Chains A and B, each alone.
Chain A
Amino acid sequence: MGTASIVLNLAWRNLWRNYRRTAIMLVAVVVGVWAMIFMSAMMRGMVDGMLVGSIRSLPGHVQIHNPNFRDDPTVNNLFPSPNENLIAVLEQEDVVAWSSRVRVPAVVMSERNFRGVTLIGIDPVAEVSVSFVADDMTEGRFLLGTEDTGLILGRRLAERLETEVGKRVVVLTQDPSNEIVDRGFRVIGVYEAQVASTEEIYAFVGRSTLQTLLGIGGQVSEIAVLGADYRDTEALYHRINAAVGNRLEVLPWYELNRYLSSMLGMMDGFVLIWIVVIFLALSFGLVNTLMMSVFERVREIGLMMALGMKPGVILGQIITESLMLLGMGLLIGDVFAWVTIQRLREGIDLSAVSEGLEMMGAGSVLTPSLQASDVVLATIVVLVLGFLASLFPAMRASRYHPVDAMTKV
């Protein structure tokens, strides 16, 4: 206890012995920590935007299908509309919204052109809370009910088909007996998606209208379930999986879209690399500061050793100085980063580079997302690497011979 208190006391006072040098190093650590946390939050914010946008563009957090649907996403792999038991599971607190859909490949023909699309029959009331379509209508109106006979197209698709709201198009698809079925639809609305390619792929109609066209009764292709947060879907996924059993396939978003999950994993790696790179740059300054501090007081270190302080305690004292400096830098840097992120919580408008962001699947407003795990990671990296960086000057100090050190000029 006595040794610990003298080590802390000496480390603290030595730190402020040359306060200009310490202040400069402290500013460097603060800026470094701020950059670690703030830039991590920006990267997280961008990935968050991409993930939320992608999840909103149909998959939801958890999906239920016929087990064969992913291999053959056609009208042949449907399942009955949810029964009372499944509805009870889907109505629990951790489910924000859910929607059942019919999804089939189809061809849309206008009087000028035709395009292959994925035709989705939705319940517009339920879909509003699950996916993007209703929010992103830019022209016309959204579907009013499952029996609505209108068709919603994406902006790009409408342009390719050279059609517009109010015009009629023909939709061709196959029924379960592989017969071509077709029907004329009036285009009632056009949507714009965060990712332009989505606009070309998906066309929406009322679910009952499509079920009638296909002659499939109340059967559906998928149920998309939205939980509270994409980062915390495990419990929801396991609960639904347990309720559904083996007859249907239940998949969380990260298995439905491997690209997104690998993106998230890659971002964890980027954040770690970013934090380590910043700290490595900082560590040169830190080692230099400590070395200068040690060289300046070689005689004093010799004196303490002569008086009976063990080399290990000298080593501990230098490391403690380093950790104190880094600890203060961490604290102040964290506060600055938090304040910056709070001030930018409405998001940063990046519409000037929105096309590039769209290609990456992100929106034009970037909202920094501060994650506790990133702050913890930065703290661990700074303290662990700081400890390692201070070992060299500390070991050097602890290896002095008392007589040589005290006579050093």
Chain B
Amino acid sequence: MYAVRCIDVRKIYKQGDEDVIGLNGVSIEVEEGGFVCLRSPSGGGKTTLLNVMGGLDRPDSGEIWIAGKRIDNLSKAPLARMRLHRIGFVFQAYNLIPVLTARENVEFVMQVQGVSVVDRKKRSLEILSEVGLEGLEDRRPAKMSGGQQQRVAVARAIASNPAIVLADEPTANLDSNTARHLMELFVELNQHRGTTFVIATHDQMVMSYARRLIRMLDGKLVEDIDQEAV
């Protein structure tokens, strides 16, 4: 069973009068429990691929399947529902809702899902503890460091047991030590919970943690390396 499967996905952007190729016939499968890094230079297509995988953007053609369900043909509301229940996101910045505390940010997705107050509180406290933020539950993002904020974002991403976590440059705004801790957290969650991770990055340190490394260029997959085998 694949956590995510893309079949001949194409996406072209308009930039002024010019067409810019975002994805050019990308086909990829990520198995459940996978830990995959997408690498490319800027404009290579890794963020675009992540966005279409997560249902944040719609491909011009091709198919996207998440946990056995095709999502590229869904309308806005079902797509939002799918993102809510099946996908966890960690973005590079502006990851948290500033008016909510760490615990409330983690609870956010569960709250929209309709999880009961007691359950979501219990679960959010467990997860915050799991990502090393015990004692910071009631802090707002402005009172937390960049690394702590990213940990809250990770906690929120995994809180509802999604089929896959998509992380776009999650360490870009972090110092190397904090970035390393975050990657160790990803690995731990991948190994202990079996959560599938797809991470877009151009950070060599991040790539070193991946079991599978996919290189993209001009919207195409140009290399797919099983690092464990290597």
Chain A residues within CB distance 8 Å of chain B: 1-3, 5-6, 9-10, 13-14, 17, 299-300, 303-313, 402-403, 406
Contact of A307 among B76, B77, B112 (CB under 8 A): B112
Shortest C-beta distance, B27 to chain A (Å), equals 22
The 10 tightest CB contacts between A and B, nearest first, are A308-B84, A13-B99, A308-B83, A2-B111, A2-B114, A299-B94, A6-B111, A310-B80, A403-B56, A402-B56
CA distance A1 to B117 in the complex (A): 10
Bound complex: CA of A318 vs CA of B100, how far in Å?
Answer: 16
Known A299-B94, A306-B89, A307-B84: A2·B112 in contact at CB below 8 Å:
yes
Interface of B (DSSP majority class): helix
When each residue 70-113 of chain B gets 1 if its CB lies under 8 Å from chain A and 0 otherwise, what string results? Answer: 00000011001111110001010011111110001000111111
Q: Is the CB of B97 within 8 A of A403?
A: no
| Shortest distance from the beta carbon of A306 to any chain B beta carbon, whole Å | 6
Q: Is the CB of B91 within 8 A of A303?
A: yes
| Measured CA separation A9–B57 after assembly (Å) | 29
> Which residue of the partner chain B has the closest CB to A309?
B112
Given contacts A2-B114, A303-B91, 15 further A-B contacts (CB under 8 A): A2-B112, A6-B108, A6-B112, A10-B99, A303-B97, A306-B56, A307-B109, A308-B81, A308-B82, A308-B85, A309-B84, A310-B76, A311-B76, A403-B56, A403-B57
Across the A-B interface, how many residue pairs have beta carbons closer than 8 Å?
75
| A-B contact list, 7 entries, CB within 8 Å | A2-B111, A308-B109, A308-B112, A311-B80, A312-B77, A313-B112, A403-B56
Residues of A within 8 Å of B109, CB to CB, are: 307-308
Of residues 43 through 58 on chain B, the ones whose CB sits less than 8 Å from some CB of chain A are 51, 54, 56-57
> Cβ of A2: which chain B residues have Cβ within 8 Å of it?
110-115
Are B98 and A307 in contact, CB atoms less than 8 angstroms apart? no
- Whose C-beta in chain A lies nearest to the C-beta of B85? A308
Given A307-B109, A403-B57, A10-B114 contact (CB < 8 Å): no
Q: How far is the CA of A13 from the CA of B156 in the complex (A)?
A: 20
When distances are taken between beta carbons in the complex, the residues of chain B under 8 Å from A310 are 76-77, 80-81
Question: Which residues of A are found within 8 Å of B54, using beta-carbon distances?
Answer: 306
CA distance A299 to B96 in the complex (A): 10
Q: Is the CB of B80 within 8 A of A406?
A: no
- Contacts known (A307-B108, A310-B80, A311-B76); A3 close to B94, Cβ less than 8 A: no
In the bound complex, CA of A3 to CA of B84 (Å): 12
The answer to whether A300 touches B94, judged by C-beta atoms less than 8 angstroms apart, is yes
Q: Which of B81, B83, B97 interacts with A300 by CB under 8 Å?
A: B97
Report whether A1 and B114 are in contact in the complex, using a CB–CB cutoff of 8 Å: yes
CB distance from B136 to the nearest CB of A (A): 19
Inter-subunit contact B51/A403 (CB<8 Å): yes
B77 to A17, Cβ gap below 8 A? no
In contact, A3 and B111 (Cβ under 8 angstroms): yes
B22 CB to closest chain A CB (Å) equals 11
Residues of B contacting A303 in the complex (Cβ-Cβ under 8 angstroms): 91, 94-97
A13, B108: Cα distance in complex, Å: 14
| Contact string against A for B residues 185-223, beta-carbon threshold 8 Å, 1 for contact and 0 otherwise | 000000000000000000000000000000000000000
CB distance from A242 to the nearest CB of B (A): 60
Residue among B84, B111, B113, B114 with the highest chain A CB neighbour number at 10 A: B111
**How far is the CB of A185 from the nearest CB of chain B, in Å?**
84
CA distance A6 to B108 in the complex (A): 8
